[in-house]
Amino acid sequence: MRGHKSKINGEINMRKTIGTKFTNGVIKPLEKVYIEEGKEIVVTITEVSLKPQKDAFEKSAGAWKDLINCDELIKNIYSDRLISTRPEINLK
């Protein structure tokens, strides 16, 4: 659960993001929620797909083929790591 406190019109408000499940017309939290009984709250609904999203990953396979030289890229990455842009530290 992620939480955030803010002050609006002098009143402290708590904003939380929690997982819920919609069953038989009722939104049920998937974790313990500490809200005073009868208190009105605002709910923002974001629908989450439970279907694996590997289609996009699989469709992108090979997209870089023949666009870059992988061996040259790896060589450049390692050589760039050797470059130091920090000034030498003098502890005197």
Question: For 32-71, what is each residue's pLDDT tens digit?
Answer: 988 889 988 888 888 877 666 677 777 778 887 788 888 9
Range of the domain at 50: 2-81
In the chain, the number of structural domains is: 1
pLDDT of 3 > 60? The answer is no
Q: Is residue 91 part of a domain?
A: no
pLDDT of residue 1: 46
Give a yes or no: residue 89 inside a domain. Answer: no
The set of residues, in sequence order, having a beta carbon less than 8 Å from that of 31 and lying 6+ positions away, is 1, 18, 19
Better pLDDT: 23 or 87: 23
Number of Cβ within 10 Å of residue 28's Cβ equals: 10
Any domain includes 92: no
- The answer to the question of residue 90 being in a domain is no
pLDDT at 28 > cutoff 70:
yes
Q: What is the mean pLDDT of residues 5-26?
A: 77
Taking the alpha carbons at both ends of the chain, their separation in whole angstroms is: 49
Q: What is the pTM of this model?
A: 0.39
